[in-house]
Amino acid sequence: MLISVIIPVYNVENYIKKGVESVLNQSYTNFELLLVNDGSKDNSPKICDDFASKDSRVKVLHKINGGASDARNQGILAAKGDYLMFLDSDDYWDDNNAIQKVVNRLTESKDVDILLFYWKNINLNTNRTEISNKKYQTEIFKNATKPEVLKSLFDTGLFPSSAVITVVNRVFILQNELFFVKGIKAEDVDWTLNVFKQANKIDAINEDFYVVLLNREGSVTSTADVKSIESILFILDKWCPEFIAKNDPLSHLFLGHLSFHYSTSFVIYPNLSNDEKQLVKNRLIAYLYLFKYTHSKKAALVKYIISFLGIELGTKLLDILFRIRKKQDKFF
């Protein structure tokens, strides 16, 4: 079984080596590593080429800058593997048996469209490692229907919002044209919704080998602005009408998932300029109904604050709470 690992690369000369080496050091050797240089202006392209010159499993694609989505899409099209894995260029795997564990599960389960695993966070501000105590209910996945599997993921708070903790069947991705939307910040949220909508067989392993570096200077995910809110609104505009129209228990769970991402907009809102607030305020108000579907304590907190104080005062309070909790290395 050939595994294709795709890493989009953009101006990460200080981080890329650790991520690449964490793949090359894997005990399972039947893989290809696709480094997609997205028009980097630092030394990242040379670092990628150096790796490729030393290991034939490494392939480098150089392209003009088009964003992480475009880089991943190019990687998907160039990949030859049976399954695809994604790694962000400033993250890494901390288990040399990671791919072997993935392959073992895929071989055991057979015909899996998407396999999930865990992650852990390392906060660069505090040097603390954060590991979730949640577990996939893998015994349910073996014989359950797709709605039952999805309900398990929602009930445990483990429905993914990121591609990097997924392993996906390449043919399944290509046949259903499951590419990443370009030009938005929350592309992974949209992509995972699309993938899970189309997938027939879903499985998971309780392994947390993926390491996310939080608060890296210059990281796209560490910056929040009006484009972040517009990206969330794009996803709500795309998915909410479908789930509202179906109006069944599973659709309500999807709406609850979307309500969490919607709630993060109110944490970003106070940092916008007055002109930017005018661009998004009425659109945010239009989706207040989403809060009735929420199954997240964090989203519920936002709901109560906004309901009592309104958007302007409520978001100011949320901003204060967020800053206090951020100092404590927690969200909210």
Express each pLDDT in 165-205 by its tens digit: 999 999 999 999 999 999 998 899 999 999 999 999 999 99
User: What local confidence, expressed as pLDDT, does residue 331 receive?
Assistant: 42
Lowest mean pLDDT among 150-159, 218-227, 278-287: 218-227
Mean of all residue pLDDT scores within the chain: 91
Does a structural domain hold residue 293?
Answer: yes
Q: Are residues 110 and 13 in the same domain?
A: yes
For residues 163 and 76, what is the distance between their CA atoms, to the nearest angstrom?
A: 12
Q: Look at residues 163, 185, 220 and tell me which one is the last residue of a structural domain.
A: 220
Q: Look at residues 168, 193, 220 and tell me which one is the last residue of a structural domain.
A: 220
Quick one: what percent of the chain has pLDDT higher than 70? 94
Strand, coil or helix: 33: strand
Structural domain span for residue 280: 224-327
Would you call 309 exposed, middle or buried from its count of C-beta atoms within 10 A (0-12, 13-18, 19+)? middle
Does a structural domain hold residue 332?
Answer: no
Q: Are residues 92 and 71 in the same domain?
A: yes
pTM: 0.90
CB atoms within 10 A of CB 328: 8
Q: Look at residues 171, 197, 220 and tell me which one is the last residue of a structural domain.
A: 220
Express each pLDDT in 279-290 by its tens digit: 999 999 999 999
Q: Are residues 70 and 186 in the same domain?
A: yes
Q: Are residues 90 and 151 in the same domain?
A: yes
Express each pLDDT in 3-20 by its tens digit: 999 999 999 999 999 999
Q: Are residues 41 and 11 in contact, defined by beta-carbon separation less than 8 angstroms?
A: yes
User: What local confidence, expressed as pLDDT, does residue 52 receive?
Assistant: 97
Residue at token pair 């290395």? 329
For residues 289 and 293, what is the distance between their CA atoms, to the nearest angstrom?
A: 8
